[in-house]
Amino acid sequence: MDLEDKHIGTPQPTPGTLVLLHGIGRSYGSMKFLEYRLKKAGYNVLNIGYPSLRRDIPGCARYLREIIQREPPQSLSFIVHSMGGLVLRQYIQFYGETQLRKIIFLGTPNQGSRLARVYKTILRPILGPAINQLGDTEYINQLPIPKVEFLNIVGGNGTKYGMNPLFGGGDNDFIVGIDEALLPGAHPLIKVRHYHAFLMNGKDTFRHILTFLKK
């Protein structure tokens, strides 16, 4: 059994559940600290692992459907890191968003990933078929913008070079540029000084998450 599949057999979500989705090449383990904090704050949390290395983004969205398809309207809020946000937007395109209450995007390349486009040939053997969609702006631009309320948190250091001076696209969190994370309709964009891989673990990130959830 893959690490990605270890959610199987865990309790199914109940109304008011927060669903966590990790990014490409990660597992539910990357969201465990955030899960711990949210549970300690009194939230019911479902931290989902999904086969990000074996399926493309549409395939990951269908996998997500298998887990949450029986949940009632407006019962789920999502906190999604990196590609997890694109999986959720693809889910919305396929199945609608009647189940959703709120969404928090953490470093999602909502305009497509520059790094995925440039290094697709190198990364595909490592990261699997989803890398093709990650860099495909035409594909990503046709994904729906959520109608439910959503927050967008991105990483950077406030300089024109960002955390990765070789990125070549302005301020960034080492992997995703702030310009790549933009999505019209969000609350004012929240910028934090954290690297992409650790966006979900920052104290300030967690503070913004709680503020948004409690509104």
What is the amino acid identity at position 132? N
- Give the separation between CA 12 and CA 59, rounded to whole angstroms: 21
What is the per-residue pLDDT for 169? 76
- Report mean pLDDT in 10-residue bins for the chain, 215 residues: 40 68 97 97 95 97 96 94 98 97 97 91 93 95 96 95 87 95 90 97 96 90
- Give the separation between CA 162 and CA 191, rounded to whole angstroms: 12
Check if CATH label 3.40.50.300 holds for domain 3-192. Answer: no
Q: Contact at 8 Å (CB) between 25 and 113? A: no
CA triple 12-15-46, angle to 5 deg: 40
Would you list the domain boundaries of the chain?
3-192
Q: Contact at 8 Å (CB) between 49 and 5? A: yes
Q: Contact at 8 Å (CB) between 134 and 180? A: no
pTM of structure: 0.91
What is the per-residue pLDDT for 61? 98
- Give the separation between CA 67 and CA 9, rounded to whole angstroms: 11
What is the per-residue pLDDT for 154? 97
Integer-rounded Cα Rg, in Å, for the chain is 16
